[in-house]
Structure 1
Amino acid sequence: MPEETAPTDTTTPAASKSPSGVLGALGCGCAALVGVVLVLVVLLAYGSAGSTDFPRVAPEDMASRAFQSSQEAYDVLGFKRTVEPGVERVGVSTENTFSSGYCYDGGLLGMDDKTVDGAYRMSHSWALDHVPASRAVPGLRRLQQHLKDNGWTVTSYREGGKGKDWDLYVQRDDGDERMSFTWFPDRDYFIGGASVPCAYDPEWKDGDIGPSGDDQTPPALGPSQRGRMPRA
């Protein structure tokens, strides 16, 4: 009887990955990572590139634009009193004032906080005392709907309920233009404000101190003679 021989194992061990293949894979991964980083840098640079690309507009014109927004809101709210320029006691008396602030450059990555020479942002603030719920509540509800219908984005709206404050915050133009309103039922006090986008003062010179426009005075704020103001 012939002897049986054990079958020969003809399989070969799996070939190990060559160093060149591993390095190639690593190279592709690193290249992809570098590509992602470059895309992020480009996007950040693009997003901040226009951050100081403000128009050249005289402060009185930007102040007028802010006032028109307040005038429109005042008419929609239905207030009938006339508020003269100025303020006696902030947070207590009536108010009708302009203010000017700095504009900032976020830098290439949006992480800086530098003021932009010659640039300013105008705001208008107003307030009424002795405003009862019968006038403030329907006025705010009407204003909230009116602004939504006319291109403003409502970022916050809170009906305070019994004894709590009522708030309305809106914006447009990617947040460059804003308005806010608050009614304090505990003291029947109503405040409003409007701010407009940054602009360069054409008359600004090197060495000028403070933001432009801080010497502006608003006209009296009251019921519009022409009805509701057009969209600024």
Structure 2
Amino acid sequence: MPDETAPTDATPDPAPAGSRSPSSVLGALGCGCVALLVVPVVVLVVLLSGGLSGSTDFPRTAPEKMADRAFQRSQEAYDLMGFTRTVRPGVEKIGVSTENTLSSGYCYDGGLLGLEDKTVDGAYRMSHSWALDHVPANQAVSGLRRLHRQLKDDGWEVTSYREGGKSKSWDLYVQRDDGSERMSFIWYPDREYFTGGTSVPCAYDPEWESGDTGLPGDDQSPPALGPAQRKK
């Protein structure tokens, strides 16, 4: 950065005693303004280098382990609801039939101060979705209320809970670890249809290599969901 220098004349006028020359005042102001501009820039650079561009410090965990973690969260909720039916893997018609599926999603680096997200190569986020048809009100209402209380006691943050009545849906949304792990539950009384979903934190696939295609974990399939999966 160029130095700030006061202009000089061949025969400068003397300044009155006890005062400062205009050139020295301007020089002081110039240095002060430059300093005020430099400090925020330096602070910004330091903050960016400190990781505000987004966290990608994901654990190196195999997709099958994260898939099992997501499924077990759903299994625990399924048990708390008191369901006894066995739901086989797969889905015939989303929103109508039973469902028991795993899926893998992208993870993002947060971008520069969160302004531009980019996918992180080799990282993935596993999710598990399940659904039951023919769920009557007496089972859905009591089960959701019990699930709501238990998840709060277990340390989950309830981000939304609504008892919709006879016509509107009943919703329960929870999260923990700053939202990196989430669960959602919805019951539609008009259709007697219940859905649940779990999303676990992002992770790196230890076997992923540069140039690999596809998304880690997109080939995972869950076991059957039901009483047979309960721990003894």
1:17 offset after TM fit, Å?
9.8
Counterpart Cα distance in 2 of 1:153 and 1:37: 38
1:39 offset after TM fit, Å?
3.1
Shift in alpha-carbon separation, 1:36–1:92, aligned structure 2, 3 A: same
1:143 offset after TM fit, Å?
1.1
Misfit runs of 4+, over 6 Å: none
Alignment of 1:150-189 (within 5 A): 150-189=154-193
Structure-2 residue corresponding to 1:81: 85
Shift in alpha-carbon separation, 1:163–1:178, aligned structure 2, 3 A: same
- RMSD (CA atoms): 2.3
Match of 2:230 among 219, 225, 228: 225
Structure-2 residue corresponding to 1:120: 124
Structure-1 residue corresponding to 2:210: 206
Shift in alpha-carbon separation, 1:57–1:18, aligned structure 2, 3 A: same
Shift in alpha-carbon separation, 1:212–1:188, aligned structure 2, 3 A: same
Structure-2 residue corresponding to 1:12: none
Percent sequence identity over aligned pairs: 71
1:18 offset after TM fit, Å?
5.3
1:73 offset after TM fit, Å?
0.9
Counterpart Cα distance in 2 of 1:187 and 1:77: 18
What is the SS of the residue equivalent to 1:42? helix
Match of 2:72 among 59, 68, 72: 68
Counterpart Cα distance in 2 of 1:47 and 1:85: 40
Q: Deviations over 1:145-177 (max 9, x none)?
A: 211111211111112123101111111111111
Structure-2 residue corresponding to 1:8: none
Counterpart Cα distance in 2 of 1:167 and 1:54: 30
1:59 offset after TM fit, Å?
0.6
Counterpart Cα distance in 2 of 1:48 and 1:39: 12
What is the SS of the residue equivalent to 1:167? strand
Alignment of 1:71-150 (within 5 A): 71-150=75-154
Larger Cα Rg: Structure 1 or Structure 2? 1
What is the SS of the residue equivalent to 1:81? coil
Match of 2:43 among 36, 39, 42: 39
Structure-1 residue corresponding to 2:7: none
Contact 1:128 / 1:190 at 8 angstroms: preserved in 2? Answer: yes
Contact 1:45 / 1:108 at 8 angstroms: preserved in 2? Answer: no
TM-score of the two chains, using structure 1 as the length reference: 0.82
- Single out whichever of 75-84 and 107-116 deviates more from structure 2: 107-116
Counterpart Cα distance in 1 of 2:38 and 2:152: 44
Structure 2: where are the runs of 5+ without partners?
Answer: 1-18
Structure-1 residue corresponding to 2:199: 195
- Single out whichever of 18-27 and 179-188 deviates more from structure 2: 18-27
- Partner amino acid, structure 2, of 1:226: K
Structure 1: where are the runs of 5+ without partners?
Answer: 1-14, 228-232
TM-score of the two chains, using structure 2 as the length reference: 0.82
